């Protein structure tokens, strides 16, 4: 059956939520507001009943793969299990029903959670101070680059206009650099997939404001020369930024601050198991070394005696990056997660994540190309290049065929340096049985590519909707429901 939209079900006389009659005197809006500011006709919102809404979204829910239901090995996304207790905690009225403009004496519990989480993140990252204000990873990147700019400006070094970013970096890195008024330059990686020290050295100059790195990088490889990299960047007066997307690989084993990074962001929705929500909300707190602390966003949470308060008086602050204090309810979830694991639990999470990734990589190294031999950290990147050459089956076909096996595809075609890339991040919350099932499916698909490539070209076959015509979507741009199109 073709699924309907809420608008197709809409009809006069159907309603869900009603509000009580007014218990105060009523007058017409036109008596209280200028007539020319009033709406002529109501918005065409759907007129539907509660049972219809419930069933509509129950049906849509069935069309969503999700990490509660199955394996979700999206590389760089850390799709780990989202503990149920987080949802219970975040729904407590003492957090959920807090108005952001409540006097600080009346929100001491909230300020304590923010203050403590900032301390813990700084400690996990080997940094000195943190801010929870950035609402997502990309916002965290922008926040830190913006702080870098303020830092350089404060030292009279306004000429620094370039940011160096490896060719394996997440797209947000160069995009954040541009957003901050910088020019992003790509650094070609070495043959082993890591930073090429020679390349870095020749790109570094007095005009470089910062270098942005992910460690381990997006190939799942630890940047073993990181200490030399930090020295090189600092020797020309540049700053070193850590994209913390891959923190799940190294907790308890290495801290970006100790590696020489000046600032970093965390993705609470990756490393600290808060849910992804089908695209958000996440949270992207930042942590920095002391020399950058005065540039952090306002307001800061401060401890005064045995009380907590807001501090707005930070003359060097870059200002605000979110209308309020960031995604507080996501921070509450991450706080609960960190507290339930403790330092030993975080370390064991990283260990299991790395073990799982290596187990998968090793098992698939024959059926697929392995452009950068391991060991890997928490994720591995395979390539379908040989399969593509021999059979015409591409990474996207393999990814779509996995859906027929009841599994979510890995990240495809990223990093950009690997042709026909399939980037796999199992995370620590998957059992050996699940990994074996994935390995078997991937191996089977590799052989299907040779026997019956068309089966893969036309996959998936098991979903209500087959492969979508993205070209048509981009050409016709139907971006909203319309009557009788």
Partner 1 sequence: MTYIPQSDKDKAEMLAALGIESVEEFFSQIPSVLRANAMPAIPGPLTESELVRHMHELAGENHSLQDLVCFAGGGIYDRFIPSIVRDVVSRPEFVTPYTPYQAEVSQGTLQAMFEYQTVVCELTAMEVANASLYDGATSLAEAVSLSSRVTHKHRALLSRALSPSARRVVQTHCTASGIETGEVPYIEETGQTDLGALENILDDEVCCVALQQPNYFGIVEDMASAAGAAHNVGALLISAVEPISLGVLKPPGNYGADIAVGEGQPLGLVPGFGGPVLGLFACNRELMRQMPGRVVGQTVDSEGRVGYCLTLQAREQHIRRDKATSNICTNEALCALAAGVYLAALGPDGLREVTRLSIHKAHYLRDQLAEQSENVQQRFGGAFVNEFVLRVSQPVCSLLESLCEQGFLIGPSLGREYPELDDCLLVAVTEQRTKQDIEGLVAALSS
Helix residue ranges per DSSP H, 126-219 = 137-154, 172-179, 197-203
Stretch that binds partner 1, among 3-11, 202-210, 232-240, 383-391 (CB under 8 A): 3-11
By CB under 8 A, is residue 478 in contact with partner 1? yes
Nearer to partner 1 (CB atom), residue 389 or residue 461: 461
CB of 205 to partner 1, least distance (A): 18
Residue from 209, 226, 137 nearest 173 by CA = 137
Of 195-203, 204-212, 311-319, 382-390, which segment contacts partner 1 by CB under 8 A?
Answer: 311-319
Q: Cβ 20 to partner 1, closest distance in Å?
A: 8
Closer residue to partner 1, CB minimum distance, 66 or 389: 66
Of 75, 82, 209, 438, the one binding partner 1 by CB under 8 A: 82
Q: Write out the binding residues for partner 1, residues 399-418 only, by CB under 8 A.
A: 399-400, 403, 408-409, 414
What is the contact mask toward partner 1 in residues 34 to 73, using x (rule: CB under 8 A)? Answer: x-xxxxx-xxxxxxx-x--xx--xx-xxxxxxxxxx--x-
From the CB of residue 35, how many other CB atoms can be counted at a distance below 10 Å?
8
Considering only the stretches 233-241, 364-372, 446-454, 456-464, report the one whose residues sit in contact with partner 1 under the rule CB under 8 A: 456-464
Give the β-pairing of 307-311 and 300-304. antiparallel
With respect to partner 1, which residue has the nearer C-beta, 192 or 390? 192
How many angstroms separate the Cα of 203 from the Cα of each of 160, 165, 194, 210, 214? 13, 11, 16, 11, 18
Choice from 154, 161, 224, 235 touching partner 1 (CB under 8 A): 224
DSSP codes, 360-415: HHHHHTTTSB-SS-S--SS-EEEE-HHHHHHH---HHHHHHHHHHTT----EES-S
Rule CB under 8 A: say whether 237 interacts with partner 1.
no
428 makes contact with partner 1 (CB under 8 A): yes
Is residue 392 involved in binding partner 1 (CB under 8 A)?
A: no
Residue positions counted in the chain: 485
Instruction: Name which of 280, 245, 247 is nearest 135 in CA terms.
Output: 280
Is residue 177 a contact partner of residue 145, using CB atoms and an 8 Å limit? yes
**Choice between 200 and 301, CB closer to partner 1:** 301
Task: Give the per-residue contact string, 341-380, with partner 1 (x = CB under 8 A; - = no).
Answer: xxxxxxxxx-xx-xxx-xx--xx-----------x-x---
φ/ψ region of 153 (left if φ > 0, alpha if ψ in -120 to 50, else beta) reads: alpha
Supply the minimum distance, in Å, between the C-beta of residue 465 and partner 1: 4
Token pair belonging to 173: 């890195």
Tell me if residue 31 falls in helix, strand or coil: helix
Cβ 389 to partner 1 shortest distance, Å: 25
Residues 249/380, Cβ–Cβ less than 8 Å: no
- CA-nearest of 243, 263, 241, 247 to 130 is 263
d(CA 134, CA 296) in angstroms, rounded, equals 11
Torsion angle in degrees (nearest 10) through CA of 369, 374, 375, 381: -50
- Choose, by CB under 8 A, the member of 154, 158, 161, 178 that binds partner 1: 178
Q: Give the helix/strand (H/E) hosting 302.
A: strand 300-304
Toward partner 1, which CB reaches closer, 109 or 390? 109
> Do residues 465 and 405 lie in contact, with contact meaning Cβ atoms separated by under 8 Å?
no
Q: DSSP class of residue 68?
A: T
- Mark 243-282 with x for binding to partner 1 (rule: CB under 8 A) and - for no binding: -------xxxxxx--xx-------x-x---x-xxxxxxxx
Tokens at 323, concatenated: 């209308």
Binding mask 92-121 for partner 1 (x = CB under 8 A): xxxxxxxxxxxx-xxxxxx-xx------x-
208, 318, 364, 395: which one binds partner 1 (CB under 8 A): 318
Spell out, one character per residue from 122 to 151, where the chain touches partner 1: x when CB under 8 A holds, - when not.
-xx-x--------xxxxx-xx--xx--x--
Which residue lies nearer to partner 1 by CB, 345 or 371? 345
How far is 154 from 159, CA to CA, in rounded Å? 12
Binding segment for partner 1 (CB under 8 A), chosen from 22-30, 204-212, 286-294, 364-372, is: 22-30
Q: Which of 152, 322, 394, 401 binds partner 1 (CB under 8 A)?
A: 322
Candidates 85-93, 231-239, 383-391, 443-451; binding stretch for partner 1 (CB under 8 A): 85-93
Interface with partner 1, residue 15, by CB under 8 A: yes
If binding is defined by CB under 8 A, does position 437 make contact with partner 1?
Answer: no
Joined tokens for residue 425: 């991040």
């Amino acid at each position: 059956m073709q699924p309907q939209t809420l608008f197709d079900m809409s009809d006069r006389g159907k309603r869900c939520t009603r509000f009580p009659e007014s218990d105060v005197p009523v007058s017409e809006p036109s008596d209280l507001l200028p007539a020319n500011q009033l709406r002529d006709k109501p918005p065409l919102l759907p007129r539907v009943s509660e049972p219809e809404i419930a069933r509509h979204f129950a049906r849509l829910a069935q069309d969503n793969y999700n990490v509660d239901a199955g394996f979700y090995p999206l590389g760089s996304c850390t799709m780990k299990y989202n503990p149920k207790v987080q949802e219970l905690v975040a729904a407590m009225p003492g957090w959920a029903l807090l108005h952001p403009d409540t006097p600080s004496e009346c929100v001491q519990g909230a300020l304590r959670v923010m203050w403590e989480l900032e301390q813990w993140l700084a400690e996990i990252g080997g940094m000195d101070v943190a801010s929870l204000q950035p609402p997502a990873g990309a916002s965290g990147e922008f926040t830190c680059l913006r702080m870098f700019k303020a830092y350089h400006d404060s030292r009279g070094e306004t000429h620094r206009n370039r940011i160096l970013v490896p060719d394996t970096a997440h797209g947000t890195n160069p995009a954040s650099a541009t957003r901050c008024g910088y020019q992003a330059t790509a650094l070609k990686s070495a043959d082993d997939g890591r930073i090429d020290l020679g390349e870095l050295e020749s790109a570094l100059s007095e005009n470089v404001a910062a270098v942005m790195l992910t460690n381990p990088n997006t190939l799942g490889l630890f940047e073993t020369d990181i200490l030399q990299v930090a020295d090189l960047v600092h020797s020309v007066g540049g700053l070193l930024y850590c994209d913390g997307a891959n923190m799940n690989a190294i907790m308890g084993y290495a801290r970006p601050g100790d590696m020489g990074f000046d600032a970093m962001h965390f993705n609470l929705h990756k490393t600290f198991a808060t849910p992804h929500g089908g695209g958000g909300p996440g949270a992207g707190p930042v942590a920095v070394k002391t020399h950058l602390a005065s540039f952090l966003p306002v307001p800061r949470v401060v401890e005064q005696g045995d009380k907590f308060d807001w501090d707005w008086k930070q003359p060097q602050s870059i200002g605000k990056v979110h209308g309020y204090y960031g995604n507080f309810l996501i921070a509450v979830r991450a706080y609960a997660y960190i507290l339930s694991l403790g330092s030993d639990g975080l370390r064991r999470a990283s260990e299991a994540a790395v073990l799982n990734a290596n187990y998968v990589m090793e098992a698939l190294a024959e059926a697929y190309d392995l452009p950068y031999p391991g060991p890997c950290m928490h994720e591995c990147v395979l390539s379908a290049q040989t399969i593509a050459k021999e059979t015409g089956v591409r990474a996207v076909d393999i990814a779509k065929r996995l859906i027929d096996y009841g599994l979510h595809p890995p990240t495809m075609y990223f990093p950009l340096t690997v042709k026909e890339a399939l980037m796999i991040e199992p995370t620590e919350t998957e059992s050996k049985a699940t990994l074996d099932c994935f390995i078997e499916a991937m191996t089977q698909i590799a052989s299907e590519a040779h026997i019956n490539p068309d089966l893969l070209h036309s996959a998936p076959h098991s979903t209500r909707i087959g492969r979508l015509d993205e070209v048509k979507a981009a050409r016709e741009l139907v971006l909203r429901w319309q009557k009788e199109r």
